[in-house]
Structure 1
Amino acid sequence: MAEDTVFAEGRFENAMTATVVKRRLLEPPTNKATLLHLVNTLPGVRMEERSPGSYRLNMRGSSLRSPFGVRNIKIYWNDIPLTDPGGNTYFNQLAPGSFSDMTFIKSTANTSYGAGTGGQVLIRNRPAKANEASVELYGGSYQLRGLSASGNIAGAKTASRISYAHHETDGYREQSAMRRDNLSWTSEFKISEKQQISANVLFTDMYYQTPGGLTLTEFQANPRSARPAAGIFPSATDAKAAIFQRNLTAGIGYKNKFNEVFSNSTTVYGSYNRIENSAVRNYEMRNEPHFGARTIFKLEKKWGSGNSIDWQNGAELQSGNFNIKVLGNRKGNADTLQTNDDVQTTVYTIFSQIVFDMANKWSYSAGLSYNKSRIDFERLSDRPVVNQPFSFSTELIPRLAISKAFGGDNSVGVLISKSFSPPTVAELLPSTGIINTSLGAEKGWNFELLGKINALPRFNIEASLFAFRLNNALVQRRDESGADYFTNAGSTRQNGAEFFTRYNYVRRNSFIETGWLTAAYTYSHFRYAEFEKEGNDFSGKVLPGVPSNTFSIWGDAYLRNGFYVIGSYYGASSIFLNDANTVSTRPYHLVTAKVGYITTIKKVQLNFYAGADNLLNQTYSLGNDINAVSGRYYNAAPRRNYYAGAAFSLTK
């Protein structure tokens, strides 16, 4: 039964390290409210939640420039870019029911996806091959309540899946309530044996309050409090600090296998994001329509006894025309207009990647991408209107890899690759409302040694040692009002090690029939190489925002009598909160546990469960505000909390 629930596996192909998370609609290691605990079981990947609905995703240190949302990482859903042409991703538009698997490609391991020194996340939501329907209800601490429902219809040539999820909570802290409604639809139609069309729609309507950062004194006195009033700025409660967010993405895909060796896959899409942010400093309104297309021509050829070639050539184009208004905030209502900007942004990538697998178990891979990015600002609220273009230099991104397999599924390989990431629209025009004309793109080289060992049946070990050299690194700062702004921080040296093991237990008709056990360790030795700012020399300092050590264990056991147990542990060492390394958090340890019972009555599967998060009742901050003025670094995470739920599914 565990094979149909949740599991993570590492995949080592052509000296490219990727971690895959597969998710069937049964049991994650915690409640259905968040993906955080599931993602944090993976090495080199760290997900944070500043408040319910406000996520930050860090892959090998990429949270330096992400106060919220996801930047520096390219994310796709069913081959549709969720990362807009301005470089920002609203990861919170995804619900557990809107994906079937997620692949995390860390750092610069692939040249086929354009900019992003952090890496890529490839998310799929595929219809099942059977007719089925499911409904789930859950509730828990802090007025947590939710509903999810899905249906799948499959025929000889068609398959469609639709899912809906509603989630809301009052939140652990003051001014941290959240509500999210998510609807996704995926359909596949087989035209012929060689042609297929797919259609995908993802819609999210959500509202979440933002309690703001606390000083250490405030955090220790009452971690549940929201940011209080300070100087001329109101409290988060008085400002009714919150974000209203709507995302709609729709795309059509076409696949054509011309013959036995040559095929094409093309996707076109359109997307619209509407964001309103009632903040302590101001009230921001953003309309972000954009569209794009992606096409890949693939040649696959085998010859001899074990030789093969996989050659992909393709291109991706994205273009958007955004409007961003900043107004005054009068107790949660938009007031006098301060700035009004039209932003046109275009980014495109042309890429080629080839892999030779030889009969002697050697594999050779090379890739090259040509990348261009342009952003134009027009401040309509100023007269005369002036166009401010940002056209970043053309970047050629190479990648070389060699690997060798040794019997079974054991392998070792090396990877050398370059990456770059231009500033996002949100960094060039941050919440201060001041266009930052001094920012430049960050660029880096990655050197990596990877290995995989299958020591025993159903047990493997994976390891990665890497050295990443980043120049012109973008770093977040925060002023007195809580507004973000950014600066280029010279060069960084990011060395690290990642280890991942997994074991799958299968003993049919025994007391414990199936189970998974995984363990992941990440060591991050991240330092500024050369960085001077405003007379301060931070060279040699530890990069803030990333723990030097993280360790996680996750496991489940499914018993013959229908009961199951799922548990996880996650530990993080202390985290520096500023560039000077004068302030740091305490280490913390998170333990989750869930018990449940699954049975089937007349083709209806019933699943009842209950569990608890943060069993050790730790007081800790998750999603710290790095380099915050006045020491407002801390965003308190929930202490011990409980939940329970029931799911019903029918398969025909």
Structure 2
Amino acid sequence: MNRVFNNMFRKSRSVGLGLALLLSVFNSAAQDMTFDTIKPLSEVVVRAFGQKRNLATGLISVVGNTSLSNKMSLLSEINTIPGMRMEERSPGSYRINIRGSSLRSPFGVRNVKVYWNGIPLTDPGGNTYFNQLAYNNFSSIEVFKGPASSMYGVGTGGLLLIENAISPHTEASVEYIGGSYGLHSVLATGNIAGDKFSTKLTYAHNESKGYREQSAVQRDNLSWMGRWYISEKQALTAALLYTDMYYQTPGALTLQEYQKNPRAARPAAGIFPSAVEAKAAIWQKNLTGGITYVYHFAQNITNQTTVYGSHNHIKNSAVRNYERRIEPHFGGRTQFTFEAPLASDNRLRVDAGAEWQKGDYSIRVNGNNKGVPDTLQTDDEVSTTIYSLFAQVVYTTMSNWTYTLGASYNKAKVGFTRLNVEPVLQQPFAFSNEVAPRISVSKKWDNRLTILGSVAKGYASPTIAELLPSTGIINTALKAEEGWNYELTAEKYLWNELRLQATGFYFDMKNGLVQQRDESGADYFVNAGQIRQRGVELFADYVLRQERWKWLNRAVFTAGYTYSYFKYGTFLKEGNDYSGKQLPGVPRSSVTLAADMAMANRFSLNATYYGASKIFVNDANTAVANPYHLLGVKLGYQLVIDKLNIKLYLGGDNLLNENYSLGNDINGAGGRYYNAAPRRNVYVGAAISYRK
């Protein structure tokens, strides 16, 4: 144990200077420790689609950062949401699947629109570097599943709205975590609150040696927010997010390799070196900043406008090649809101606005000579522009009927200029959709039963990574995918403590984009003729209050179940008929259970369970990843000394010691599908805070 803590101390020295600078700003002000505070979803103010509460215009799930276990990753918390699945191919390499959207994500996050404090993290090329976010970069994440095109532009997968709220108190905190596989994490947050100005500064350092060979990760993250209250009618918010990250990529294994040694990196095969020989890794730097201005023209008319700029610098040393990308982009979003009471206590809300993004990228691909760029293969300049015009009307009656009608017009332009060929090759693309509507109707009864039905059209143009995949061949044949989603949700409250939700949906997609791999392992994309996604999502949460159980301060228990009946319609490719086959990458069934308990004796307990059925990993449904069951538990103790708040905790993940693959390489060439996840692992943490 002494050796473990000595290593923890040695690793943390590299970030000591940053912590000292941060803490000196706030002197003796520090954060009140609330990591195990329980907040039921019904208490959260929801912003997506302009709604003020769940099931007003759409079903929104909210994730908080109050009880996360392993703060290197959001996996356990996000995977408690039915219909949503977060995967980690290796530490730092994330994939988010919302109702089958991982078909388009061999790695990274695509087809899901992501905003951070109103700033688009999804670039105009359609990619999101979700791994640039640290634990203390957010206070809540709103999740909308399915097409959100009526207000948030292109995308059929879903929507994530991430907020990093500034506390109304002057406070700060420092936290340290160490654990298995060389895990070390330092988190620091400072907050100054004033009448006219408030600010928040965060710092995070995360590193791990990784479970597999060639899977180490190191990330430094800094964020800042400032808010000026100019007058009763005006407010200005500025936000900055910077990440410097390095993570190794071990590569996928065949079933035989996976069963023999799941901790191994991809071995050499044919003309391609092993992941270790290629020094396979990604160097990633992300800088994003934006300003949001809110002006209340009158009591019922408001405008919110955000402008932003972002710069991403990526180097990818892969088994096949060495890629370097420089991706600057900028843009803005403006939204006008009008709210007014009508006769007979009816209400009307109108939202209208526009969003625009522009990017000019440089993408160079060389041969890879043991982690060093070699002969130039391709040199491309990419220009991309995307915009959306949207409007939405919400009408609510005194009898608790709510009618919503929204629509958007979207257009995307992409141009490729290949500089390393003569004559220089220019390839333009343009994708447009006349209208993407969304209609919903909800009714709330006095017995606390609510029914919501919606119909929405989803539209998503190919991303840059799909038009220019790792084969290096510009794909001129791709079409935009589109389809209609039909959804029905029922929500019922019992005894003011138990909430039950049930959702059924059917998404009929045309030209669905599907990832494939060639013989060398390079990914490319094709349009499947039709994809039919039918599913059922069940969710329940129960709030146990102190009035009934004196030994508890508070507790929340949640349970979720997802049934995904996703199949190809007509899908013919290269002489193979995949019609009627189940979509790869999605378990047919999954179950989640979670418990958060804060006890009167200052102890706290957090436990999560996630179980998934087998997952097909190729279009032919001839290869599978086996079912698995994950159990995580965290036990904490909180000590209060005057204004000091000290928290100690011990936890573990995969306590059942399952051998499973998380983040499979769909349609992997040569049967390379499997990325082994860590076996049983433990961690310890300590945090101290002070609130002025």
Indicate the TM-score class for this superposition, using the shorter chain for normalisation. Answer: over 0.9
Q: Say whether the 8 Å CA contact 1:7–1:23 is kept in structure 2.
A: no
Matches within 5 A, 1:176-215: 176-215=215-254
1:161 aligns with 2:203: no
Q: What residue identity is the alignment partner of 1:567?
A: A
- Deviation, 1:481, is 3.1
Matches within 5 A, 1:72-221: 72-109=111-148, 111-221=150-260
* Partner Cα separation in structure 2 for residue 430 and residue 7 of structure 1: 42
* Partner Cα separation in structure 1 for residue 307 and residue 407 of structure 2: 23
User: Partner residue of 1:347?
Assistant: 386
User: Partner residue of 2:357?
Assistant: 318
Q: 10-19 or 234-243: which moved more?
A: 10-19
Q: What residue identity is the alignment partner of 2:593?
A: I
Q: Say whether the 8 Å CA contact 1:594–1:612 is kept in structure 2.
A: yes
Q: Say whether the 8 Å CA contact 2:149–2:458 is kept in structure 1.
A: no
Give deviations 1:222-266, integer Å, cap 9, x for gaps.
000000000000000000000000000000000000101111000
Give deviations 1:34-82, integer Å, cap 9, x for gaps.
1111100111110000000000000011001101111001000011000
Q: What residue identity is the alignment partner of 1:629?
A: A
Aligned counterpart for 1:18 among listed residues 60, 69, 75: 60
How does the TM-score come out when normalised to structure 1?
Answer: 0.98
User: Partner residue of 1:293?
Assistant: 332
Aligned residues: 649
For 2:181, what is the secondary structure of its paired residue?
coil
User: Partner residue of 1:585?
Assistant: 625
- Deviation, 1:387, is 1.5
User: Partner residue of 1:552?
Assistant: 592
Matches within 5 A, 1:258-277: 258-277=297-316
For 1:129, what is the secondary structure of its paired residue?
coil
1:601 aligns with 2:641: yes
Aligned counterpart for 2:500 among listed residues 445, 449, 461: 461
- Deviation, 1:23, is 2.3
Q: Say whether the 8 Å CA contact 2:176–2:185 is kept in structure 1.
A: yes
1:401 aligns with 2:433: no
Give deviations 1:505-539, integer Å, cap 9, x for gaps.
12168112211101111110000011000111111
User: Partner residue of 1:5?
Assistant: 37
Report the identity percentage: 55
For 2:670, what is the secondary structure of its paired residue?
helix
Aligned counterpart for 2:105 among listed residues 66, 71, 75: 66
Q: Say whether the 8 Å CA contact 1:15–1:414 is kept in structure 2.
A: no
User: Partner residue of 2:544?
Assistant: 505
Q: What residue identity is the alignment partner of 1:617?
A: N
Aligned counterpart for 1:611 among listed residues 646, 651, 663: 651
Q: Say whether the 8 Å CA contact 1:6–1:22 is kept in structure 2.
A: no
- Deviation, 1:85, is 0.2
Higher strand share: 1
Q: What residue identity is the alignment partner of 2:559?
A: A
For 1:64, what is the secondary structure of its paired residue?
helix
* Partner Cα separation in structure 2 for residue 23 and residue 636 of structure 1: 26
Give deviations 1:78-111, integer Å, cap 9, x for gaps.
1100000000000000111000110001102561
Q: What residue identity is the alignment partner of 1:134?
A: S
Aligned counterpart for 2:89 among listed residues 27, 50, 56: 50
* Partner Cα separation in structure 1 for residue 39 and residue 629 of structure 2: 22
* Partner Cα separation in structure 2 for residue 295 and residue 596 of structure 1: 44
For 2:473, what is the secondary structure of its paired residue?
coil
Q: What residue identity is the alignment partner of 2:426?
A: N
* Partner Cα separation in structure 1 for residue 276 and residue 203 of structure 2: 31
Q: Structure 1 pair 45/7, CA: closer, same or farther in 2 (3 Å)?
A: farther
Aligned counterpart for 1:302 among listed residues 324, 327, 341: 341
For 1:627, what is the secondary structure of its paired residue?
coil
Q: Say whether the 8 Å CA contact 1:15–1:412 is kept in structure 2.
A: no
* Partner Cα separation in structure 2 for residue 538 and residue 80 of structure 1: 40
Q: 145-154 or 403-412: which moved more?
A: 403-412
* Partner Cα separation in structure 1 for residue 71 and residue 644 of structure 2: 21
Give deviations 1:277-330, integer Å, cap 9, x for gaps.
000000000000000010001101113453111100000000000000000100
Aligned counterpart for 2:671 among listed residues 624, 631, 636: 631
User: Partner residue of 1:566?
Assistant: 606
For structure 2, the residue ranges without an aligned partner over 5 or more in a row are 1-32, 43-52
User: Partner residue of 2:21?
Assistant: none
Higher helix share: 2
Q: Say whether the 8 Å CA contact 2:149–2:436 is kept in structure 1.
A: no
Q: CA RMSD in A?
A: 1.3
- Deviation, 1:2, is 8.0
* Partner Cα separation in structure 1 for residue 37 and residue 671 of structure 2: 42
Give deviations 1:151-204, integer Å, cap 9, x for gaps.
000001111111000000000000000001111111111000110000000000
Q: What residue identity is the alignment partner of 1:414?
A: G
Q: Say whether the 8 Å CA contact 2:148–2:156 is kept in structure 1.
A: no
* Partner Cα separation in structure 2 for residue 100 and residue 272 of structure 1: 24
Aligned counterpart for 1:419 among listed residues 448, 451, 458: 458
* Partner Cα separation in structure 2 for residue 6 and residue 245 of structure 1: 35
Aligned counterpart for 2:489 among listed residues 440, 443, 450: 450
How does the TM-score come out when normalised to structure 2?
Answer: 0.92
* Partner Cα separation in structure 2 for residue 221 and residue 480 of structure 1: 23
For 1:193, what is the secondary structure of its paired residue?
coil
For structure 1, the residue ranges without an aligned partner over 5 or more in a row are none
Q: Structure 1 pair 608/471, CA: closer, same or farther in 2 (3 Å)?
A: same
